[in-house]
Amino acid sequence: MKDTGERHILKTDFFDCADYYGHLLHIASYQFALQYVTEKKVLDYGCGSGYGAHILSETAQSVTGVDVSYEAVSYAKENFTSNNLIFKNIDKMADEKFDIIVSFQVIEHVRNDKTYLKKLKELLNPGGILLLTTPDKENRLFNYIQKPWNKYHLKEYSAKSMSTLIKQFFADFEILKISSVPELVLPEIQRRKKQRIITLPATLFFYPNFLRVLLLNFQVWLYQKVSAILKKKNKQITLGDTTPFFLKYTVEDIVISKEVEFSTDLLLICNTPKK
């Protein structure tokens, strides 16, 4: 499966500490979910490459990973197997319900977030739990004037805007924030702040989506051309290297809490009432 940078694929090579932080964040989100899935029927809605569903299958009764991408589902089937784990395309889902649903880094991609949340709620058994993660808009975008600079994202959320949306579907929910120790998270925070400035001319709020994507693609093309001329190349860093930084931090250094100093992403725990 082609690595576009949008669907996370397990790897051991990282361009910089921000790239490494993103890798640890994805793994930590699924490890956080492990406390909810023991002996439960679980749905990973938007499973991507499948590594997360495989993590959950270690303790869950069963895990179903679904995705809109046939390529992603095929990759997941080839690379992650377990007796209690299956992968399928979303359009192949049967009429069934689940105890736990995880949907990590998905809501920012959907055209209608209300339809998406309504669907997930309908898929939950009474007393079921929905876990969501999504980028925290706070350090990514200028308020009111900017659309997402990630061309795959249709909308991004702050804790406040997410709370306003979620309470329309779940009366009982909690919003946590994802971060890390400063040395690990700050390079990612700085990257996001830099991106919102660089991409602002291509992401103004009044642009239609096709124009935003077109301008963002042009910016990437221009950057690649300039980099080639200047012969600047990123040095890829491998976990096997003796680089102290990448040997120092692990997934245990990711912090998921209500109050953090530097938040990169949001994690929501949404509870349905028991009958």
pTM exceeding 0.85: yes
Higher-scoring residue by pLDDT: 192, 16: 192
pLDDT reported for residue 14:
80
Name the one residue in this structure whose structure tokens are 């809501």: 107
pLDDT digits (tens, 9 = 90+) for 213-252: 999 999 999 988 887 777 655 555 555 544 545 668 899 9
The number of angstroms, rounded, from the C-alpha of 32 to the middle of its chain's C-alpha atoms is: 14
Structure tokens at 144: 């009111």
pLDDT digits (tens, 9 = 90+) for 10-34: 887 787 788 889 999 999 999 999 9
Nearest to 34 by CA among 84, 87, 102: 102
pLDDT reported for residue 168:
96
User: Does the pLDDT value for residue 87 go beyond 90?
Assistant: yes
| From the candidate CATH numbers 3.40.50.150, 3.30.70.1230, 3.40.33.10, 3.40.50.620, the one assigned to the domain spanning 13-271 | 3.40.50.150
pLDDT reported for residue 236:
55
| Residue boundaries of the structural domains of the chain | 13-271
pLDDT digits (tens, 9 = 90+) for 65-83: 999 999 999 999 999 999 9
Taking residues 141-146, what's their average pLDDT?
A: 95
| Cα-based distances in Å from 107 to 135, 140, 178, 201 | 10, 16, 16, 25
